Amino acid sequence: MLGNQLQGKTAVITGGAGGIGRSTALLFAREGAAVTIVDLNQPAGIEVVREISIGGGRAIFERADVTRASDCRCVIERTVQEFGGIHVLFNNAGIIRRASVIEISEDDWDAVMAVNVKSIFLMSREVIPIMANAGGGSIVNTASGWGLAGGGRAAVYCASKGAVVLLTKAMAIDHGGQKIRVNCICPGDTDTAMLRGEARQLGEAEDRFLSDSAKRPLGRVGTPEEIAQAALYLASDASSFVTGTALVVDGGGLAGSG
């Protein structure tokens, strides 16, 4: 069943082939948006396009490395060519390396900062002029609860997500006059392949790791579909007076933090 919260709009979603990105792509399409799915995982991205098409929606897949300016430019050019414009950008691509500053390699540090932060700069730089010429738009960035509070053995991830929170606020200030809203989501632990991969990085049993992740007021980890609903709110006109905010969606995980 199709909704209409994004009827007539076009959305670009990075990291759209799996996890939160996949769920958001499917939801945005159900709500009427034409969707460009951006990812390095081509088979998974094509499968998401197929699912959207079966449901009566419109979508294309673009294989791209969002840390490369030329790839980002190609994604935006094809989207405009296919759909005529861009109204929503969901900067969702992200990776994690669980390590302290003593443990992490320089290459891993650079990779996390590039995917989690630089990609937002590169994609937004391409999209903002298009949105401004069209009279506005919405940019949603994926940050993290660890962008607001620190976590153990996650130094570069925390640094990158903290950067996303403040980059979001700076962009909201710079582009509010162009009627471009910029917000970020700060998810708590969410049941995705990335979360399960953290257990392997830390050398922990997956079931125990997930059980520990569920220790929050609501007593469970989140689902990608729940984070997608937050992205929909920030992308749609339901949040028309919301910009520069970091929306925490974490089952109460940060409720007791100062």
**Residues labelled catalytic:** 157
CB 72 within 8 A of CB 79: no
| 238, two tokens | 């339901």
Helix (H, G, I), strand (E, B) or coil at 54: helix
Give CA–CA dist 94/195, Å, rounded: 12
Burial zone of 70 (CB within 10 Å; 0-12 exposed, 13-18 middle, 19+ buried): exposed
What pairs with residue 187 in β-bridges? 249
Three-class secondary structure of residue 185 per DSSP: strand
3-class SS shares of the chain: helix, strand, coil, % to 5: 50, 15, 35
> Comparing C-alpha atoms, which of 152, 92, 145, 99 is closest to residue 116?
92
Structure tokens at 131: 């949105």
